[in-house]
Amino acid sequence: MPNDIDSDPPPPATADADRQPAVARPSEGWSAAAFEGEFLRGPRPRRRETRELFRMAAEFVRGFRTFHFIGPCVTVFGSARFPQEHRYCALAHQMGARLARAGFVTMTGGGPGIMEAANRGARENGGMSVGSRIRLPHEEDANPYLDVDVEFDYFFIRKVMLLKYSMGFIILPGGFGTLDELFDATTLIQTGKMHGFPVVLMGADYWQPLMAFMRTTMVAAGTIAAADVDRILVTDVPEEAMAHLLDFATSSFGLRWRPFKPLWFLREQPLGDNEASVDPADPGDRLDLDDPVDLIERTGA
């Protein structure tokens, strides 16, 4: 007789003798449902669904409390599988360095490969380097260049953090995850759910077939508009990518620093000199793109 007991089902048996054993993960703070994919298998007992809902809420709160103070941020997406010597990692490193020198926080998924290169470029040039990581059984640990590192159990919560706190997206070559992040951002912009923040693809040779498909097939079929594709900048020139970001930040949207003060009754902690958010600036406050020292105005403490 079926019942609504609050217990985990046994793992399914497998006849695949060559399958590698699962990697053991520490139980502290870890959701078995998120780890095993059980949460997405369908309805479960109500008590377990409610418990999972509280886990999700706790992850959102943890992300909000941390990233609330990081200041103007640009997210760099890309594969974890490229070695640091790869030319795509060199591009990511250059962009992390330029973002730092312009006063932006560099956010990535916090892992190796392109993410590590961007974080390293930011750290080496005095910028804040932030990681929003996903906990997986087969992924490597956080890269060693993070000033702020938050780990999530749920992919969708992590993606909210990568998108919510950024005012631009640099996307280098990657796999399914990178494509997911690219199309998440462009869908939210297309549907008006998010500002028309800059989307820059770097590694032009890698993206050329996808861009051609969108223009010749999707636009031709009427499933997207030509303007949706034109919104995406494809370049391998870091100066061009930065000019595109800064033009939006200062001319199109007119952003400047506005300090956030931690609230003592919420037990919030400052993140150092970078605690700030962005706020619309008066036209007279817009910054000179030709002045590399004052690309982002820093006001107050």
Structure tokens at 92: 């990511």
Number of other residues whose CB lies within 10 A of the CB of residue 163 = 19
Q: Is the model's pLDDT at 235 over the cut of 80?
A: yes
Cα gap 71→98, rounded to integer Å: 16
Residues 268-292 have pLDDT tens digits of 665 544 433 344 344 333 333 344 3
Q: What is the pLDDT of residue 184?
A: 97
Q: Is the model's pLDDT at 227 over the cut of 90?
A: yes
Higher pLDDT, 5 or 46: 46
Q: What is the pLDDT of residue 164?
A: 95
Cα gap 274→54, rounded to integer Å: 31
Q: Is the model's pLDDT at 190 over the cut of 70?
A: yes
pTM of the model: 0.75
Residue 151, SS3? Answer: strand
Residues 126-170 have pLDDT tens digits of 999 999 999 887 766 899 999 999 999 999 999 999 999 999 999
Question: Across all residues in the chain, what is the average pLDDT?
Answer: 80
Cα gap 101→103, rounded to integer Å: 5
Kindly list the distances between the CA atom of residue 13 and the CA atoms of 10, 17, 34, 36, 212, in Å, as whole numbers in the listed order. 9, 11, 19, 14, 44
Q: How many residues does the chain have?
A: 301
Higher pLDDT, 113 or 300: 113
Higher pLDDT, 267 or 110: 110
Pairing of strands 277-280, 255-258: antiparallel
Number of other residues whose CB lies within 10 A of the CB of residue 81 = 13
Domain limits, the chain: 29-184+238-301
CB 230 within 8 A of CB 259: no
Q: Does CATH place domain 29-184+238-301 in 3.40.50.450?
A: yes
